[in-house]
Copies of this chain bind each other. A is one copy, B any other.
Amino acid sequence: MAMAMAHQHRESSSDSINRHLDAGKYVRYTGEQVEALERVYAECPKPSSLRRQQLIRDCPILSNIEPKQINVWFQNRRCQEKQRKEASRLQTVNRKMTVMNKLLMEENDRLQKQVSQLVCENGFMRQQLHTVC
């Protein structure tokens, strides 16, 4: 019945490569492509349009990507870095604060004890002065 039909093989003719070749708009770039782009990004996160065109020319791996897409890639890449950087900044600040907090509490404790000690000695001496006079 319907259940049996359901398990017939569905025509999955959408290989990622075919998708790219026909009218499919959305493509994942290959590991190599991303790697190449990342290498450029590391040196220059904001390449000029000239630089981008050069990139496409020199790098055969990227030749099937449109200049506009390259531009979008860099925009998205910058955005991503910004977000990650902010997140990790907050994390770092957080960690440091935690450590600082701990140290302060320890110091606080130490001072508390010191105060008690001194107060104690103080009282003792005060008493001795009284008995002497």
Contact = CB atoms under 8 A, between A and B. Distances in A.
A88 to B, nearest CB: 10
The main secondary structure of chain A at its interface with chain B is helix
A2 B101 CA distance: 53
A98 B133 CA distance: 52
Contact of A105 (B94, B104, B126, B129): B104
A111 B122 contact: no
Interface in A102-122: 104-105, 107-108, 111-112, 114-115, 118-119, 121-122
Interface in A82-97: 87, 90-91, 93-94, 97
Interface stretch (A3-11, A38-46, A68-76): A3-11
